[in-house]
Amino acid sequence: MTRKFTVIIEQDEDNTYIGKVLELKGCLSQGDTLDELMKNIKEAIELCLEVEHDKDKTIEHIKFVGVQQIEVV
C-alpha cells in the first residue's frame, strides 16, 4: 500500500536540511543535500510506521495548507 506524507523542510545555520513529517510525531531527519534528506526521511518514515504499527496507534491525517510569514514590530 502506497502512502503519502507531508515533509516540512528547513535549513539551519550550517546549511543542513532538516525534514519533519507532519503526520508522524517525532519523525524527522536531516541531510547535507535535499536528495540526501529525502533518502533519510523516507527511511525515518518507514521506521516510524513500524513503531506506530507495533504500538497500534493511528496516524493523524493532517492536510497541509501552506506557509505564511508575518512581521511583528
Its domain, for residue 4, covers: 1-73
Instruction: Give the CATH number for residue 34.
Output: 3.30.160.250
- Tell me what percent of the chain is helix, strand and coil, each rounded to the nearest 5: 30, 20, 50
- For the stretch 24-63, pLDDT in tens is 989 999 999 999 999 999 999 999 998 876 555 666 677 8
Q: How many Å apart are CA 36 and CA 1, to the nearest integer?
A: 24
Per-residue confidence band for 66, with pLDDT thresholds at 50, 70 and 90 = confident
Q: How many CB atoms lie within 10 A of CB 12?
A: 9
Residue 67 gets the label, from left (phi > 0), alpha (psi -120 to 50) or beta, of beta
- For the stretch 2-21, pLDDT in tens is 888 999 999 999 999 999 99
Task: Say if residues 44 and 28 touch (Cβ distance below 8 Å).
Answer: yes
Per the structure, the count of domains in the chain is: 1
pTM for the model: 0.78
